[in-house]
Structure 1
Amino acid sequence: MTDRQDTSFPYPRTCPLHPPREYASLRAEQPISKITLASGRTAWLLTRHEHIRKLLASPDVSSNMAHPGYPLHFDVPTEVMEQMRPVLLAMDPPVHTAQRKMLISEFTAKRVQRLRPRIEEIVDECITSLLTREGPVDLVEALALRVPSLVICELLGVPYADREFFQRRTEQLVSVEADPQERNTAHQELHEYFDKLVTAQEADPGDNLLGRLVVKNRETGTFTHGELVGIANVLLVGGHETTANMISLGVLALLENPDQQAKLKADPGLAPQAVDELLRYFSIADQVTSRVATADIEIGGVLIRAGEGVIGLSASGNHDESVFSDPERLDFERGAKHHLAFGHGIHQCIGQNLAKVELEVVFNALLARVPGLKPAAPVSELPFKDSMGVYGLHRLPVTC
């Protein structure tokens, strides 16, 4: 174990298709180490799969970002922190348990499968539009952003015309290099937008997720109005930003790995395994697993004291050689269901079933309908989201 200050953290991906190279050396030499963040706060870094799973399964850690020991990368003004009502990922039991129970029925595998025909329609419409364009097409704008935006807006009852509004603001929220004032303004504008949206659903509940949640909440009183606003914010931002990035990165991986592309094209039923492998391979939300200890805990022979911050680096855990043989090789037949891309434990991503179905539909439809899809620029020239809290691509030019 070491205690060090490293101003380069979070580490950049020197190869855009692989995690930061520092992760491998940390796993081998310093699997649990202590670091000073840019905010001045300290945190333990966990890099091995088993240690991260133990952290996320522990009842003695908190996701509360307002806790003074939480490993924030940048300082958040007190007034903004007070407005950031804890919701799901940033909440602890027993309140978290009650709120998740209210939502989980909307994201079961069975319910999501009922949405598959509509998701297929949305994807087909987007691909049809893509095929009418001339010259190189930006797949991020034409497909990766449009599909999850349409799906989540329809699911929640959000006017699709508003997608550009929240798209710009969510990018500011997840950028680790955004100006603090811009980030705070984006947060405030999104809060105001969702406040109006929830108020409208409370007045006249629609046949959508928010409308159904409002009706159930009248019976249980689980959520306050402000908490419903927070839920809408989390679901809309989460359902849009992460899936969009995985679509663009997944397509790039297919183009860069023709052997795996051929496997999936020959057997569309391989899509669920392919999606799990792509999620493992990229691990785009690397530090969503940040926590703060609420009691002394022991992980990997190291004592982490109450009040200390901990960051489980999921991209490192998903490339742990002791769990995934030859982890930097993309292999759709690997069987990577135990990856950490959606987290683990009580805060495991509630929307993972929806995200998986969207990705399965997109990749199979693209391979079937656009067999001549090719990149219009080398990987070295592509603009990756290196400064974002969620990894992805700003643009992916392709020819059809």
Structure 2
Amino acid sequence: MSDATTEPIAFPFPDPPSVCDLPPELAEVRDGRSVAEVRFPDGITGYLVTKHADVRKVLVDSRFSSKVMASAAAAMSETETGKLMNESLVGMDAPEHTRLRKLVSRGFTARRVESLRPRVRELVAELLDEMETKPRPVDLVKNFSLPLPVRVVCELLGVPAEDQDTFHAWSNALLGDWQQVVEKEAATVALVKYFGELLEAKRKAPADDLMSALIAAREDDDTLTEREIIALCIGILSAGHETTANQISMFLVQLLRHPEQFAALKADPAALPQAVDELLRYVPLTTTGGIIPRLTTAEVELGNGEVLPAGAVVLPAVATANRDPEVFEDGERLDLTRAVNPHLAFGAGIHYCLGAQLARIELQEALGALLERMPQVRLAVPESELRLKPASIIRGLESLPITW
């Protein structure tokens, strides 16, 4: 356990000067103590875990509970948003999680996801066609990075084309500024109602989409309830929209920061899948460097001998784990040719990202098309003028003006 005389560190750490960099304090913790007691803005204390082996343990060891954290959050709120948090896959432990994930996997198959690639390619082309008609510079975030994942999720779930603009507006409200509580709750209520009505329509007239597949999913005599399907659909939207949208823009900025590697990738598009995985490792997904906290249900010892007490809030810092020099050679350097890459960008264990393969497809197709159609793409403003979205846990740019 940490030295009782050591004061908890204020967390999250201040933003670094550049939107592309991690707070240096994260690496200092990883390369020093590796586990730090921190104090969150609400006054609660917890532990920041930073090394790859320890972060992976937090993600896979059942003594680090997601359900307890989600239940505590839901208990503080009678809102639809709070209830859904408690009903989502990310807020469950085994055996509830095992049952639900098994049923979901019946519909969300690798074949179904891969079959979306040609349609993703078409959607990418449509958005780039629209961009090319606009005066330059063009904001990549507004015109490409944000709309693409929403259109893909709509295609996946079977949301009719005429509803997609409204759906997009709800999605933006749901995943925007975390301080806009009223707007988020209104969007959640609207989405629950919308998916409930869509579910009834799919029951009467099934189609070749994920919602229809979830309705039909069966394991022995077990099926998904209406509420479970609705929570899953909103979870897929939440997990697959903001994250992928922000990664498209942030990945491009990093490629422009490394012109030699960018040029090599343009010369060898077949290397794109490996390059995307390296960008997933290197580019932090969240502003804090960590992902969803866990709560210890028992005393747990980590690799450095640090003992975390039962009932402790634990934040796994995936961003620093993904650069751990004990696992990644020259881990602080972007290397698009990196062959061995056991990154944790999609998590690990039972909560490994359900949409990991879909995210890879979107990122590969988006970056591949940008490289092919706009090989001279470049920032239209100095990097120092780029700004992260305020009050957002997911690390993303407010805008990304580009020209080509």
- Using structure 1 for the length normalisation, give the TM-score: 0.90
Distance in structure 2 (CA, Å) of the matches to 1:330 and 1:134: 33
Aligned-partner SS, 2:217? helix
Distance in structure 2 (CA, Å) of the matches to 1:181 and 1:191: 15
**How many angstroms does 1:161 deviate by?**
4.7
Counterpart check, 1:328 vs 2:335: no
- Residues 140 and 194 from structure 1, CA distance in 2 versus in 1: closer, same or farther, beyond 3 angstroms? same
2:329 counterpart letter in structure 1: S
Counterpart check, 1:233 vs 2:237: no
Task: Give the alignment partner of residue 63 of structure 1, picking from 46, 63, 66.
Answer: 66
Task: Give the alignment partner of residue 396 of structure 1, picking from 382, 391, 400.
Answer: 400
Aligned to 2:203: 202
Distance in structure 1 (CA, Å) of the matches to 2:44 and 2:75: 9
Distance in structure 2 (CA, Å) of the matches to 1:255 and 1:397: 13
The answer to whether the Cα contact below 8 Å between 1:85 and 1:230 also exists between their aligned partners in 2 is no
Distance in structure 1 (CA, Å) of the matches to 2:398 and 2:340: 27
**How many angstroms does 1:162 deviate by?**
4.3
Distance in structure 1 (CA, Å) of the matches to 2:403 and 2:152: 25
Q: Could you give the per-residue CA deviations for residues 21-68 of structure 1, whole angstroms, max 9, x where no partner exists? A: 110111122211222222333221101111101111212221113344
Counterpart check, 1:344 vs 2:345: no
Distance in structure 2 (CA, Å) of the matches to 1:79 and 1:202: 28
Task: Give the alignment partner of residue 28 of structure 1, picking from 17, 28, 31.
Answer: 31
Aligned to 1:357: 361
Compute the RMSD of aligned alpha carbons. 2.5
Show structure 2 runs of 5+ residues with no match.
none
Residues 49-88 of structure 1: pairs in structure 2 closer than 5 A: 49-64=52-67, 65-68=69-72, 76-80=76-80, 81-82=82-83, 84-88=85-89
The answer to whether the Cα contact below 8 Å between 1:175 and 1:389 also exists between their aligned partners in 2 is no
**How many angstroms does 1:195 deviate by?**
3.0
Aligned to 2:190: 189
2:258 counterpart letter in structure 1: N
Residues 138-177 of structure 1: pairs in structure 2 closer than 5 A: 138-174=139-175
Distance in structure 2 (CA, Å) of the matches to 1:228 and 1:140: 30
**How many angstroms does 1:378 deviate by?**
1.2
Distance in structure 2 (CA, Å) of the matches to 1:360 and 1:299: 36
The answer to whether the Cα contact below 8 Å between 2:107 and 2:217 also exists between their aligned partners in 1 is no
1:284 counterpart letter in structure 2: L
**How many angstroms does 1:105 deviate by?**
4.6
Aligned-partner SS, 2:342? coil
Aligned-partner SS, 2:48? strand
- Residues 220 and 381 from structure 1, CA distance in 2 versus in 1: closer, same or farther, beyond 3 angstroms? farther
Counterpart check, 1:18 vs 2:21: yes
Moved more, 349-358 or 55-64: 55-64
Aligned-partner SS, 2:357? helix
Residues 309-320 of structure 1: pairs in structure 2 closer than 5 A: 309-320=313-324
The answer to whether the Cα contact below 8 Å between 1:276 and 1:336 also exists between their aligned partners in 2 is no
Residues 219-368 of structure 1: pairs in structure 2 closer than 5 A: 220-285=221-286, 286-300=289-303, 301-335=305-339, 337-368=341-372
> How many residues are treated as equivalent by the alignment?
396
The answer to whether the Cα contact below 8 Å between 2:106 and 2:214 also exists between their aligned partners in 1 is no
2:252 counterpart letter in structure 1: V
1:149 counterpart letter in structure 2: V
Aligned to 1:97: 98
Task: Give the alignment partner of residue 387 of structure 2, picking from 365, 378, 383.
Answer: 383
1:205 counterpart letter in structure 2: P
1:252 counterpart letter in structure 2: V
1:299 counterpart letter in structure 2: L
Distance in structure 1 (CA, Å) of the matches to 2:388 and 2:111: 35
- Using structure 2 for the length normalisation, give the TM-score: 0.89
Aligned-partner SS, 1:66? helix
Alignment identity in percent?
Answer: 38
**How many angstroms does 1:386 deviate by?**
4.9
Distance in structure 2 (CA, Å) of the matches to 1:86 and 1:11: 33
- Residues 106 and 267 from structure 1, CA distance in 2 versus in 1: closer, same or farther, beyond 3 angstroms? farther
Distance in structure 1 (CA, Å) of the matches to 2:57 and 2:277: 21
